[in-house]
Structure 1
Amino acid sequence: MTARASMFSLIVQVRRLIHDNGTTTVWSDEELQDWLDAHRIEVIRAPLQYARTVVGGQVVIRDYATELSNWEGDATLTDADGNTLAPETANLVVGRWSFTAHQQPPVHLTGRSYDVYAAAADALEARAAQFALAYDFTADGASYHRSQQAQALLALAKQYRRRSRPRVARMVRDDVSAQG
């Protein structure tokens, strides 16, 4: 299975974060796509926020945005009737779209947003696991500390987890009775 073409820029972004962008890579595009897919949010016809600007005394709406970032390349915008819209510019990294002319709201977004930092942390933790059994040794008066690789990878993964999207979990206590 090959990675989806619409994932190219996201995969490049994760490769940059984990420093896996040389001529020989540690992870395949498909593996990185799998980690990205584990941290995606699917959005169907979500209304976008818009900004009003005044041009020649007229209120014009050209710019639309969403709170989520890092969108897959196949995200689509539609108008109130479900017609597909073609924005002049699209910044999928920050989630902003612009039109050349006034675009009457509402504009809806359908697509997938990804947490590149969580995916990068997953990849770094998997790489650290490959070094988990590395050993330190001394030869010819020199010390070699191979175990430091795993520690450094885990430290960077921890840093990326802090930058990843917050997660919310619903907890239910079953040790107390409901009050009526």
Structure 2
Amino acid sequence: MRVLGVDPGLTRCGVGVVDVAPNRTAKLVHVEVLRTPSDQALELRLLHIGRGLAALFDSYRPDAFAIERVFAQQNVPSVMGVAQISGVALYLAAERGLPVGLHTPSEVKAAVTGYGNADKRQVTTMVTRLLGLEAAPKPADAADAIAIALCHAWRQAPVPTAAGATMTPAQRAWQQAEASAKRR
């Protein structure tokens, strides 16, 4: 499964593309950060990032799209910018008929580090290890986008087990949580 993940932002919009095999091993396909100057007109910033995202969708042809769910915080202008870029990205994914996943920051952190309150450094370290990268993706927006894509791919794939093999407690908990979520 190829997933394009986005860590939305107006100044820095992280984009990560990963291929994830049925056994949950992952390979980095592409990572970059789309940037716009903070003093540029809003509509031009949205246009620039939208065009960049469209080109990445068309170039890498993902099977699915994942983005960080917008969450409330004190800085309203920042939330608005994230929401606006999220809307552009969701529009582009829908236009291409892609299944979409919205994931909370704590959900993404838990998926890649095992801890929902992990800091950015821990997420970057785990993304680097999980993908066997020689250097950590920089800035943190790049690593976050990859983590979002990994979280989405892993939530979609069943937990593989060899015939007669037992799952680890973490795998069992994950499988039970997924089954419970699907029943709702």
TM-score strictly above 0.5? no
TM-score for the superposition, normalised by structure 2: 0.24
Which structure exhibits the higher relative contact order, with contacts defined as CA atoms closer than 8 Å and separated by 6 or more residues? 2
TM-score for the superposition, normalised by structure 1: 0.25
Q: Which has the higher helix share?
A: 2
Q: Which has the higher strand share?
A: 1
